[in-house]
């Protein structure tokens, strides 16, 4: 296996494929000056202050200080380029029409109910409508991992999709569509297997209907914490619904 990846002649950094210790001669004449963690970059040449850092033919940013050849490059060492305006962003550039035919066109994924998007993992994803439910849900997720997940060996994990949104916001403002759309798309993540589970508070501006649609706002998919009388009732409701979703996910096969 190669120790690093460099894709274009323009690149002045390369990415290591595994942890590589300081002092390694990673290529002829280039000795690493730092320990380089897997998937991190090292400099192929001396880069001056404000010099471009180019990976895969793309400028990632500009050096805050001079960087020596063989040094580790991380996010604290560069200034990010200014993103172009969405209205002026070019598209359809550098389109290649001479790409080779792929030798393998399938992979061992999880087929989903939509029939198209395939998952790479089998996970129970629990959506939230508002930041106010995070504390309760985090406790519930720990209990699900400890008490329920061992019963369902074909399920990889359970994750809480927490976010700092949903209350105290101008929910009908024009740009509110962007965070809402992002959360809606996460709810349909292919690794979640079409098993929708939402924890709601009950008085948030980002309602369940806005998040996953009115047709999915049912007791089979949603736990409303304000409908539960006390903390233990909240835990019981979340774990009960989680177990039903885990039973369905456990039937998934690659």
Cβ contacts of 59 within 8 Å, gap of 6 or more: 52, 53, 81
Q: Is 1's pLDDT higher than 70? A: no
Confidence band of 116 (pLDDT split at 50, 70, 90)? low
113: phi then psi, degrees, rounded to nearest 5: -60, -30
For the stretch 185-222, pLDDT in tens is: 999 999 999 999 999 999 999 999 999 999 999 999 99
Class of domain 121-249: alpha beta
pTM of the model: 0.65
- The arithmetic mean of pLDDT across residues 130-148, rounded, is 96
- How far apart are the C-alpha atoms of 217 and 215, rounded to whole Å? 6
pLDDT given at position 91: 81
Show me where the domains of the chain are located.
Answer: 4-79, 121-249
User: Across the chain, what does the average pLDDT equal?
Assistant: 93
Q: What is the CATH number of domain 4-79?
A: 2.30.130.110
- Same CATH topology for 4-79 and 121-249: the answer is no
């Amino acid at each position: 296996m190669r120790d690093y990846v460099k894709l274009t002649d323009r690149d002045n950094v390369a990415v290591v494929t595994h942890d590589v210790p300081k002092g390694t001669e990673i290529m002829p004449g280039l000795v690493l000056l730092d320990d380089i963690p897997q998937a991190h970059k090292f400099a192929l040449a001396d880069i001056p202050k404000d010099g471009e850092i180019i990976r895969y033919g793309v400028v990632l940013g500009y050096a805050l200080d001079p960087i020596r050849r063989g040094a580790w490059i991380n996010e604290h060492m560069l200034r990010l380029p200014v993103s172009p305006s969405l209205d002026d962003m070019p598209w359809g550039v550098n389109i290649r029409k001479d790409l080779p035919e792929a030798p393998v066109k399938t992979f061992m994924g999880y087929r989903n109910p939509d029939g198209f998007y395939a998952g790479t993992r089998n996970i129970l994803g629990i959506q939230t409508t508002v930041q106010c439910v995070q504390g309760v849900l985090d406790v519930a997720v720990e209990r699900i991992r400890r008490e329920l997940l061992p019963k369902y060996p074909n399920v990889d994990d359970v994750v809480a999709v927490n976010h700092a949104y949903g209350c105290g916001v101008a929910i009908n403002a024009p740009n509110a569509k962007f965070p809402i759309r992002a959360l809606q798309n996460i709810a349909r993540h292919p690794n979640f297997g079409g098993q929708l589970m939402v924890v709601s508070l009950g008085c948030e501006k980002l309602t369940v209907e806005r998040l996953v649609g009115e047709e999915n706002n049912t007791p089979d998919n949603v736990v409303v914490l304000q409908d539960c009388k006390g903390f233990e009732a909240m835990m019981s409701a979340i774990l009960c619904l989680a177990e039903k979703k885990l039973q369905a996910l456990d039937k998934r096969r690659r």
